Amino acid sequence: MAVSRVGVGVLVGCALGAALALSGTLTRLGFPTAAPAPAPGAPAVAPAHAVSSVGDPALDPTAHSRFAILAKEAAPGIVNVHTSRTVTQAPFQGGPFPDAFRDLFRQQPGAPGPRSFTVPSLGSGFLISEDGYIVTNNHVVADVDDIQVTFSDGRAAKATIVGQDPKTDLALIRVEGMTGLTPLPLGDSDAILPGDWVVAIGNPFGLDHTVTVGIVSAKGRDIGQGPYDDYIQTDAAINPGNSGGPLLDLSGRVVGINSAINPAANTIGFAVPINLAKTILPQLREKGSVTRGWLGVAVQPITPELAEAFALDTSDGALVAQVTQGGPADTAGIRRGDVIVRFGNEAIGRMRDLPGIVSQKSVGEQVPIEVIREGQHETLTVTVGELAEERTQVASAQGGGSRAFGMRLENLTPALRQRLAFDGDGVLVAEVAPDGPAAPAGIRPGDIVVEADRKPVKSAAELERALDASGERALLLVRRGENALYVAIERG
């Protein structure tokens, strides 16, 4: 089973291996457009769907379920994706032989050299244009040597990669020189609700055009992929090989791209919302990659403890823990400790709303940004920058250090500064008591405390005095690697 971008081995991508911000609109690609959204008050599941059974007795709606008719009509637009890549393995990798023996053996005349073999894999995809453009998951086609797609009528063709976006696990591939292709219409993933019926069609375990049915279990799921997670959760059965296949509503429109599963559960699958794909696909077609807007801040969620420490009356917004020097936010006057509550015309309800909203802005666009600073609302104007691959935009919130806060502190010596690659002022957290208040707040050994209660600290003694004066709660700003984050800790 090929592991997707999902972390810690809990969720896996659903491609099957042999061993087991932005610009552009949908119409620029010439993709099929969605049918109009239902009028307010209309039933969640419309009584009719986009497919037609006129003139085809095999699709008689009085003889077959809506699911059957939908599956038959959608089949021409769904493809099986067969990939292969060459793997080179050196002899004696692993095994009981000591390294010295293996090295000696390799030097002997006639010793076996590296061995190469082909590893096949399976996935799914669906047509979005009559000229052969196909959507699938990036993890289906990443680092492969060959891509072959098979259609429902038995035709097969070689496909080439047009564009890839690992951050959203989307890829656009194409077959050329084929006629009679039937693209699927794209729906509106914002319009679906938990409880709505959906249909998944794909190539699980090589069983081509397998149809499964379920409901939308939840929306907006964060599954640990990165700052753009906004997955649809479904209980329609998704298995290895389904990756890249469509999740359809009862009108036959694509509302998601099946991408990941929880292998410990029977019916917990995740799909990339089609509305997110609509913002990505035009750029993949035009230039093969995605250019995203960049703000230049590290942000974290506002916990109840942080809301109290910052005297906020809401947990909505994104708390700025770090501002990149010279970046767009810095130039606009955004400061550490600001709470971003609106970016452009969109309110920031959850911290993780912000990266996706920023990413979809055009580079160079001027955007009003509303922040809460020292209890007051201010509006600034930021000029959106371009997100480079190596930049990190979001720091996750984990969540003091006299003995009362469960930490042992050390001054930063020159040797420690060199080892930690840190040349600023601060105090090293050398140990964290597992049963003290710092541990559950998220403080880790190796963190560097740079502020206590919004004031800089330069030595362990200075931090101790600040903690002694902090009362029942201390608000710390810590540096962790390249990121900074605020932590509120209750006194033990």
Helix (H, G, I), strand (E, B) or coil at 339: strand
Instruction: Give catalytic status of residue 243 as yes or no.
Output: yes
Nearest Cα neighbor of 186 from 242, 123, 287, 257 is 257
Q: List the beta bridge partners of residue 372.
A: 339, 377
Residue with tokens 């230049």: 296
Residue 480 CA to its chain's centroid (Å)? 22
Q: What's the token pair of residue 193? A: 């609700």
Of 82, 121, 124, 169, which is the active-site residue? 169
Within 8 A by CB and 6+ apart from 245, the residues are: 78, 123, 124, 125, 126, 200, 201, 202, 203, 257, 258
Nearest Cα neighbor of 426 from 485, 477, 486 is 477
Whole-angstrom distance, CA of residue 348 vs CA of residue 352: 8
Residue with tokens 């959608």: 74
Within 8 A by CB and 6+ apart from 73, the residues are: 51, 52, 59, 252
Burial class (CB in 10 A: 0-12, 13-18, 19+), 192: buried
Instruction: Give catalytic status of residue 338 as yes or no.
Output: no
**What is the H or E stretch that residue 72 is in?**
helix 66-74
Of 189, 217, 243, 402, which is the active-site residue? 243
Whole-angstrom distance, CA of residue 280 vs CA of residue 81: 21
Instruction: Give catalytic status of residue 169 as yes or no.
Output: yes
Whole-angstrom distance, CA of residue 261 vs CA of residue 12: 6
Of 139, 251, 259, 470, which is the active-site residue? 139
Please answer whether residues 456 and 479 qualify as being in contact, where contact means their C-beta atoms are separated by less than 8 angstroms. Answer: no
Whole-angstrom distance, CA of residue 91 vs CA of residue 306: 55
Give the catalytic positions in this structure: 139, 169, 243
